Amino acid sequence: MAYQTLCKKTLLSPSELVPAMVDNTEIVIIWPEGGRPRAFNARCPHEGVSLAQGIFNGSTLICPAHGWVFDGHSGEGLSPSGCEMVEYPIQINGEMIEIDLDDDSADED
Ligand code: FES
């Protein structure tokens, strides 16, 4: 576990998508309605296009390239199913959000 700074806590708002870059890894932080902020690798599991310009409506994230749809709470593919975005654990440290890029198996709530 090696947490490092991701962004300021104040940058995040419910139903918003915030792109970030950490150690040359592009991240999208999304805050689904009724949930908590989650950080995913920005590379779409389809063909690797960045999800930073994706459409997030507070529930689902749609890839701008070919329209694959992902669940904003879990990162699982909804259309098509059988795929998922890579999620990283995050934590709050004072006014900052930190991310652990070494652990891409985040699935706890
Ligand atoms: S690269 Fe995202 S849907 Fe094709």
Q: Structural domain tally of the chain? A: 1
Q: Is residue 91 part of a domain?
A: yes
Summarize pLDDT for 49-79 with one digit per residue, the tens: 999 999 999 999 999 999 999 999 999 999 9
Give the nearest ligand 1 atom to 47 CA: 1
> For the residues of 21-49, what is the DSSP string, one character each?
EETTEEEEEE--TTS--EEEESB-TTT--
Q: Which domain holds residue 60?
A: 4-99
The ligand 1 site (C-beta within 6 Å) comprises 44, 46-47, 49, 63, 65-66, 68
Question: What predicted TM-score, i.e. pTM, was given to this entire model?
Answer: 0.94
Instruction: With respect to residue 39, please indicate whether it lies within any of the assigned structural domains.
Output: yes
Within-domain flag for 108: no
Domain annotation covers residue 86: yes
In a domain, 107, yes or no: no
Give residue-wise pLDDT tens across range 6-35: 999 999 999 999 999 999 999 999 999 999
For residue 19, tell me if it sits in a domain.
Answer: yes
Q: Answer yes or no: are the C-beta atoms of 11 and 19 closer than 8 Å.
A: no
CATH number of the CATH domain containing 24 = 2.102.10.10
Rg from Cα positions in the chain: 13
